[in-house]
Amino acid sequence: MKIAKVVGNVVSTIKDKRFEGYKLMIVEYLDLSGKPQGVRHIALDGANAGIGDLVLTNNDGGAAVMVMDDKELIADDTIAGVVDYYTVDGCTKTAKDLY
């Protein structure tokens, strides 16, 4: 699992039937200090996240099955929850604190 910030959404008029009705969000993984790390990814939203939210993502292909309760669904990245804050080495971070 990784901490990420939602930086955008994806609008798709045509997609695989298994993804119909599900939101796709653009996420940017963060290091523990809250700085962006690596490239942005598209994640299946299982937590009703919005742009600017701090989220917990799972990058295991089978996570979507558990989070979305759909045995046919497979996604590389799945948003599993919205994070209120996290603390590392006594320093607490929220979405508003990040860049």
Segment 49-98, tens digit of pLDDT: 999 999 999 887 777 677 777 777 778 899 999 999 888 888 888 877 76
Rounded CA separation 54/98 (Å): 9
Segment 25-61, tens digit of pLDDT: 999 999 988 899 999 999 999 999 999 999 999 887 7
- The domain segmentation of the chain, as residue ranges, is 2-97
Predicted TM-score (pTM) of this structure: 0.85
Rounded CA separation 92/90 (Å): 6
Helix (H) or strand (E) holding 67: helix 63-68
Q: Let me know: does 68 contact 78? Beta carbons within 8 Å.
A: yes
Which CATH superfamily is 2-97 part of?
Answer: EutN/Ccml (2.40.50.220)
Q: Let me know: does 29 contact 62? Beta carbons within 8 Å.
A: no
